[in-house]
Amino acid sequence: MAKAGRTLPLILPGGAVFLAFFFLPLAGLFVESFRLYTPGSIGSSANAPFTLANYAELLTPAFAEFFLETIRISLLASLAGLVFAFVLAYWIARRLEQRRRALAVGLLVTLMFLSVLVRTYALELTFGAAGPLRSLLLALGISPNGRGYIELLVGAGLLHYIIPMATLTLLATIQNVDPRLVDAAQALGAPAWKAHLSITLPLSVRGLLAAFLFAFSFSISAFVIPMILGKGRVLFISNLIYTRFSEIADYPSGAAISIVLFAVAIAFVYVMSRQINRRWAA
Amino acid sequence: MSGRTLDDGLRAIGLVLIGLVILFLLIPIAVTAVMAFDARPYLGPLPPPALSLRWFARFFSDDYFLNGLLTSVELACLSVAVSLGAGVATAFALDRARFAGKEAAVTLFLSPLIVPPVVTGFALLLFLAELGLLNGFARLLCGHIIITIPYTIRATLAGLAGIDRSLTEAALTLGATERHAFWDVTFPLARTGIVSGAIFAFAVSMDDVSVSIMLTDAHTYTLPIALVSSMRANFDLSIAAASVMLMLLTLALIVILERSVGLNRAIGQGVFR
């Protein structure tokens, strides 16, 4: 067996990349988030005093609104995606024969790999204000530029990625549930919906949690989808960070928002993975 | 039995739901693919009365897009090369290493996957400005390396985890030097992981907006950045033409992945973000 000591130096190039392009920048971002910003300047000056103002600002209702909006749309899209993906995954796993199932998996992987730009553009072209649905929407009394519809469109953008991703995650889980359990329950007189509710669903909890983890953490850090489909009416936290940088050059405030988003994302992944691992061990 | 009627009702609802979901996933793509060939010089309602390649011609006669495309391809090739070299070496070291915090080290090396990319991009922007590195291409390269390297590390680790250690040991017992055992046994066996890592990394680099948008300058920008800004300015159909080409790129990558690694295996090696 090769000695670990001899291969350990191989970690150095990767380690250097991570230190220089990731860990040090993040540490710098953390420091910047406590710098005092003088309006009108670009970023903070080199020895600006430290302050908590950039964080205090985030507690004002105007800012809290952005966070709540991001979390609300992300949560709804993730939960809806989980429902759609579960039904789709069940159908693919149980109702399709081998070759069609392979085809479905190929299609889902392709959809997941699809460029986020293509996805957003395609959705805007199809469901947006200038799209073929325009007259139908107007006939139904829905304004394609109304806030509700725009929020729905952003959610649809998230779902277009979440559904293929969650379906692939759940496919493996559902395939591992022994179909004879449901058959047995039905043979003993349970209706199918009850058999699934008490057998398929509980046995899929781990897969559902994993899919929710991917879906929600993807959604709260989404950038392109809300930027294009939100048309400036719906802004996610990521978009807010970008405007702080591009429009007013208030780097310390952008840094503080980044640190909060970073903390939320990490905390969510940490809590969820612990839940998932606990279920794995049990 | 009311339970059974409920079953039939739910089954029907389920099938309708599946149909709607499939339509939702595919219709926008079909609409884009058709509109890209629209012969009208403006964005009109479906279906297009005649087909042409005018929007493709428009895309290829636009220096703004071509510039972005060139930068994107250069950037993807360079960043994948660096991420692959450093990432594969890191994965080998991590796979062999036996120290207490190994799990934590692996998590750290995969952490750019969890950190929102806009945060990564913003942090890098501030850091590189502090260092005085203002060249657009160099900044983009740094950004693309850090977002692609976790994919090469993770896929290589997954590829290595699937290798039966006794094969390498057998080679050593039979008299191979460690170097030979590595290059002739371990490396070829890890190849599928390395290949899928390279493909994921390439796809991620070609598609990135959130990190790149922080690091571009007026002269150096990627194709996705060019597309995003023209999408916000005027919603014309040359973007549909670009989308069709990006779809073909995705399809090509999937076919390569299927042929070289196998899709099921590639999913196991972590396609997820």
Looking at the predicted structure, is the pLDDT value of residue B133 above 70?
Answer: yes
Burial class (CB in 10 A: 0-12, 13-18, 19+), A98: exposed
**What is the pLDDT, as a whole number, of residue A136?**
81
Tell me which amino acid residue A152 is.
L
Mean pLDDT of A106-131: 90
A71 assigned to some structural domain = yes
Contact B239 A121 (CB under 8 A): yes
Instruction: Kindly report the CATH number assigned to the domain that includes residue A215.
Output: 1.10.3720.10
Query: Rounded to an integer, what distance in angstroms lies between the CA atom of residue B8 and that of residue B14?
Result: 10
**What is the pLDDT, as a whole number, of residue A107?**
93
Reported as a pLDDT band with limits 50, 70 and 90, residue A180 is: confident
161-180 in A: which are within 8 Å (CB) of B? 163-165, 168-169
CA B115 to chain centre: 16
Shortest alpha-carbon distance between residue B5 and chain A (Å): 9
Mean pLDDT of A234-243: 93
**What is the pLDDT, as a whole number, of residue A89?**
94
Looking at the predicted structure, is the pLDDT value of residue B123 above 50?
Answer: yes
Q: Report the share of chain A in percent with pLDDT over 90.
A: 49
A30 assigned to some structural domain = no
Angle between helices A237-246 and B117-131 (to 10 degrees): 20
Residues from chain B that touch A120, judged by Cβ atoms under 8 A, are 231
Instruction: State pLDDT tens for residues A134-155.
Output: 778 888 888 888 889 999 999 9
More confident position, B58 or B44: B58
Instruction: State pLDDT tens for residues B4-39.
Output: 788 888 889 999 999 999 999 999 999 999 989 988
Domain count, chain A: 1
Reported as a pLDDT band with limits 50, 70 and 90, residue B68 is: very high
A237 assigned to some structural domain = yes
Shortest alpha-carbon distance between residue B90 and chain A (Å): 4
A100 assigned to some structural domain = yes
Q: Report the share of chain A in percent with pLDDT over 70.
A: 96
How many degrees, rounded to 5, is the angle at CA A47 between CA A46 and CA A48? 100
Which structural domain, as residue segments, surrounds residue A73? 55-281
Q: Which two tokens stand for residue B238?
A: 């040359």
CB distance A264 to A204 below 8 Å: no
Report all structural domains of chain B as residue ranges with CATH numbers, in order of start: 54-268 (1.10.3720.10)
Contact A223 B117 (CB under 8 A): yes
Reported as a pLDDT band with limits 50, 70 and 90, residue A280 is: low
Looking at the predicted structure, is the pLDDT value of residue B46 above 80?
Answer: no
Residues from chain A that touch B246, judged by Cβ atoms under 8 A, are 115, 117-118
Looking at the predicted structure, is the pLDDT value of residue B1 above 60?
Answer: no
**What is the pLDDT, as a whole number, of residue B273?**
44
Given CA atoms B165, B171, B172, B176 in this order, what sign does their dihedral have? Answer: negative
A-B C-beta contacts closer than 8 Å:
269
**What is the pLDDT, as a whole number, of residue B2?**
61
Q: Which helix (H) or strand (E) holds A264?
A: helix A251-281
Q: Report the share of chain B in percent with pLDDT over 90.
A: 52
CB distance B197 to B87 below 8 Å: yes
**What is the pLDDT, as a whole number, of residue B11?**
87
Which residue out of A42, A67, A74, A117 would a mutagenesis test of the B interface target, given it has the greatest number of B Cβ atoms within 10 Å? Answer: A117
Looking at the predicted structure, is the pLDDT value of residue B201 above 90?
Answer: yes
CA B221 to chain centre: 18
A160 assigned to some structural domain = yes
Looking at the predicted structure, is the pLDDT value of residue A254 above 60?
Answer: yes
Q: Lowest mean pLDDT: which of B110-124, B178-192, B219-233?
A: B178-192
Mean pLDDT of A174-195: 85
A75 assigned to some structural domain = yes
Does A255 lie at the interface with B, CB-CB under 8 angstroms? yes
Q: Which of B209, B267, B273 is the closest to A218 by Cβ?
A: B273
